[in-house]
Amino acid sequence: MFRSLPALALALALFSPAFARADVPPPDGQRRVSYRFRVDGVAKLSPDHIIVVYPWSLSNGAPTREQTVAPDGEWVSVGRRSYRPELHVVRKADYEEFVKTHVAPEGREQDDPALDAFLSKGAKCNLGPMPNHTISEDDPRSAVEEIFVAQTISDTSCVLTRVNTRANAPKSGGCAGCTTSDNQVASGIGLAGLLFGLGVLVRRRRRG
């Protein structure tokens, strides 16, 4: 039994959030840049509505679930460790009242039931940002940008079109431009292999 304790300790360490969500360097031939997006045309279609971005974060370290507003025609930056952002349309006056009393969870990585309930009263947009923070080393850009144009904005509908696409995704394996959920999946697969190998090693030692 005691022989398996080191393997158990290692397994717990591997499955800890800090390890599973460790930042991954870009693959060879790639470099990191910032990412940002904007939504145009919301105010023209409906000045009474705004776009709320949630989940979202500027973090390049620990992943967090925060929220922000995407002002019409203004750039919104997204950090490397942000969860994949979703866009929601709500009435501006309702949002202003909500944030007056809203208290976000202490752990910024936690879900926010109050915010989820508020956003459910509006409409989720048909498209959302696809953050990519990795481009080729010979690409002169300092940022990857996405632009959306609003086609329909109302209490029950948010229809956007994407007028440019994310480009220069990594050519090979790395996941520097992935969202947090993608990183967790990739990490989980690798960890499963490591733990399987540890289990085999422990069984062999017991037989010996």
* Whether 84 and 161 share a structural domain: yes
58 within a domain of the structure (yes/no) = yes
DSSP state of 62: S
Count of residues for the chain?
208
Distances in whole angstroms, Cα of residue 35 to Cα of each of 16, 32, 52, 101, 122? 28, 9, 18, 31, 27
* Whether 13 and 34 share a structural domain: no
**What confidence tier does 25 reach under pLDDT thresholds 50, 70, 90?**
confident
User: Whole-angstrom Cα distance, residue 56 to residue 43?
Assistant: 22
**What confidence tier does 24 reach under pLDDT thresholds 50, 70, 90?**
confident
Tens-digit pLDDT profile for residues 53-99: 999 999 998 888 999 999 999 999 999 999 999 999 999 999 999 99
Global confidence as pTM: 0.70
Output the average pLDDT for the chain: 79
Number of domains comprising the chain: 2
173 within a domain of the structure (yes/no) = no
**pLDDT value of position 129:** 97
**What confidence tier does 108 reach under pLDDT thresholds 50, 70, 90?**
low
* Whether 155 and 196 share a structural domain: no
The answer to whether residue 146 scores a pLDDT higher than 70 is: yes
187 within a domain of the structure (yes/no) = yes
- The residue segments making up the domain with residue 207 are 1-24+178-208
**pLDDT value of position 186:** 40
Alpha-carbon torsion 188, 194, 200, 204, what sign? Answer: negative
For residue 132, give the 3-state DSSP assignment: coil
The answer to whether residue 9 scores a pLDDT higher than 70 is: no
* Whether 62 and 156 share a structural domain: yes
Q: Average of pLDDT values for 110-129?
A: 96
How many CB atoms sit inside 10 A of residue 41's CB? 16
